[in-house]
Amino acid sequence: MQTTQAVAAGQDICSGPPPRHPRPDGQDRYTISEVVAFTGLTAHTLRWYERIGLMPHVDRSHTGQRRYTNRDLDWLVFVTKLRLTGMPVADMVRYAELVRQGESTYDERRELLESTRRDVLARIHELRDTLAVLDLKIGFYATEGTTR
Amino acid sequence: MQTTQAVAAGQDICSGPPPRHPRPDGQDRYTISEVVAFTGLTAHTLRWYERIGLMPHVDRSHTGQRRYTNRDLDWLVFVTKLRLTGMPVADMVRYAELVRQGESTYDERRELLESTRRDVLARIHELRDTLAVLDLKIGFYATEGTTR
DNA sequence: CGCTTGCTTGGAGTGCGCTCGAAGGTCATA
DNA sequence: TATGACCTTCGAGCGCACTCCAAGCAAGCG
């Protein structure tokens, strides 16, 4: 019940394409250390993400310990992808806020993602240029360097 | 005399492929503000690069002001390319040291560049994955978002 | 001459994204 | 029931890459 319909209802956390859920085990309540193992983030970072508003409200056990859902994991995977595009954490927090505000923010969210998409493309082109420069230099070392 | 022969002699700053020199004007002694205009770096950053050993020795005017050469500009362009691959400044300082040590470090320099090259390639692949994720999400907003 | 502009230095400050520590509560196992 | 692993909060600290500041020197100009 947390996949396609909920996504279509626009009230969930991720609001993206329905991601395949099957996780390490078949559950839907993970401790912080399980999430650490799954995402590669540290427990400190996970708590910090929550403090700064980058996570939706994470459920708690009756004693106050965090219990992450599969949806939380999906969100973390997405956030991690955004992070390595170089997107500032503040922008991701903004996106998270939009998601919390519901489907009235669809347009703004799409614009944010499209602008991110443009950034990523530009970044790829930059990196390709750099690759060309590196290849030139490496080529130099392969000839001048070896036949010296 | 600072182009091809010097490069082939392996004692210059860049030791890469001979870059075309023609610069904003036809000179070879630029003030820091000219270099700012050309590279987009700030004067603060240029001085800081020098302090940490990322620049070869920059020449001075008779009154102690910096005078950058075309070779210095080439180096800065290269450094800027390396920077946006995400290479740490400390690693670039290491490379600069190798260049200063002369042609006996060709092998190590080549290895460093090849390892950087691998990093850049991996980075490009990551970004392409992220692009795919973004496209999926944007696609969702384009359909669910508009036909809501 | 005084003023402005541009440069010099060393050291201190900033913003980001974590990262760690202290002090204490909870849980599973023997 | 006791031990040890794991969890909680809040606040402070860290590493990186700049970024800025204060104090002062030099050159050009009306």
The amino acid occupying position B120 is V
- How many domains are there within chain A? 1
The DSSP line for B50-69 is HHTT-SPPPEE-TTS-EEB-
- Long-range contact set of residues B97-104: C-beta below 8 Å, sequence gap at least 24: B97/B53, B99/B13, B99/B14, B99/B15, B99/B56, B100/B56, B102/B10, B102/B11, B103/A145, B103/A148, B103/B10, B103/B11
CA B63 / C1′ D29 distance in Å: 20
Cβ–Cβ under 8 Å, residues B131 and A121: yes
**If pLDDT is split at 50, 70 and 90, which confidence band does B142 have?**
confident
**pLDDT at B53 (0 to 100):** 97
**What CATH number is given to the structural domain containing B58?**
1.10.1660.10
Q: Domain range holding B91?
A: 4-143
Average pLDDT, whole number, for chain A?
A: 84
Check whether A15 has a pLDDT greater than 50: no
pLDDT digits (tens, 9 = 90+) for A81-132: 999 899 999 999 999 999 999 999 999 999 999 999 999 999 999 999 999 9
Q: How far is it, in rounded angstroms, from Cα A21 to Cα B53?
A: 50
B50 in any annotated domain = yes
What average pLDDT does range A31-55 have in this prediction? 96
**If pLDDT is split at 50, 70 and 90, which confidence band does A2 have?**
very low
Angle of helix B32-39 relative to helix B43-51, nearest 10 degrees, comes to: 100
B84 in any annotated domain = yes
Residues of A in contact with B116 (CB under 8 A): 134
Residue B59 — φ and ψ, nearest 5°? Answer: -65, 160
Residue A66 — left, alpha, or beta (φ > 0 → left; ψ -120 to 50 → alpha)?
A: beta
**pLDDT at A12 (0 to 100):** 42
What average pLDDT does range A65-77 have in this prediction? 95
A148 in any annotated domain = no
Check whether A146 has a pLDDT greater than 80: no
- Select from B8, B84, B133 the Cβ nearest to the Cβ of A144: B8
pLDDT digits (tens, 9 = 90+) for B88-118: 999 999 999 999 999 999 999 999 999 999 9
**pLDDT at A143 (0 to 100):** 84
B93 in any annotated domain = yes
Check whether B22 has a pLDDT greater than 90: no
A31 in any annotated domain = yes
Q: How far is it, in rounded angstroms, from Cα A24 to Cα A88?
A: 29
Q: How far is it, in rounded angstroms, from Cα B11 to Cα B82?
A: 21
**pLDDT at B16 (0 to 100):** 46
- DSSP letter assigned to residue A66: E
Quick check: A66 CB within 7 A of strand D?
yes
Which of A119, A140, A143, A148 is most worth mutating to test chain B (most B CB atoms within 10 A of its CB)? Answer: A140
pLDDT digits (tens, 9 = 90+) for A52-62: 999 999 999 99
B73 in any annotated domain = yes
The amino acid occupying position A24 is P
- Select from B81, B107, B126 the Cβ nearest to the Cβ of A133: B81
User: Which chain C nucleotides are covered by protein, judged by CB under 7 A?
Assistant: 6-10, 16-21, 25-27
Residues in contact with B46: Cβ distance below 8 Å, sequence separation at least 6, in sequence order:
B32, B35, B36, B39, B55, B66, B76
B109 in any annotated domain = yes
Q: In this prediction, what percent of chain A has a pLDDT beyond 90?
A: 74
Check whether A32 has a pLDDT greater than 60: yes
B137 in any annotated domain = yes
Cβ–Cβ under 8 Å, residues B87 and A127: no
**pLDDT at A22 (0 to 100):** 54
